[in-house]
Amino acid sequence: MADRPSIVDTRAEQRFPKLLPDEIERLRRFGEVRRYGEGVAHWRLGETGHGLAVILSGAVVVTRRDEHGRVTAIVTHGAGSFAGELAQLSGQPTLVDAHAG
């Protein structure tokens, strides 16, 4: 029997939707444009208060660290994507790192 992709793998668009250009334009009044050099942190594990980021160009790599300090990529967000930590909605610290890719 051939390997079939998991349901998680087939639902990337649902897990990580992208905004259309007109949706991004409507959001602009709620934020500010920031530029990050490659590798610069958007947020780090344990920080609070970063809110939502809409990626206009480039990429944001979201990673997690295990108890041994090993870093594993969770997702790379590209232009049109948005990123934020659910913990931020309740004022809790971030559970992952995010850097410009």
pLDDT of residue 88: 77
Separation between Cα atoms, residue 58 and residue 80, nearest integer Å: 10
Mean pLDDT calculated for residue range 13-25: 87
Which residues are registered as beta bridge partners of 72?
Answer: 64
In CATH terms, 17-100 corresponds, of 3.40.50.1170, 2.60.120.10, 3.40.640.10, 1.10.3720.10, to: 2.60.120.10
Residue scoring higher pLDDT (77 or 89): 77
- Distances from the Cα of 84 to the Cα of 3, 28, 48, angstroms: 33, 16, 11
Mean pLDDT calculated for residue range 83-95: 84
pLDDT in tens, 22-38: 999 999 999 999 999 99
pLDDT in tens, 40-66: 999 999 998 788 899 999 999 999 999
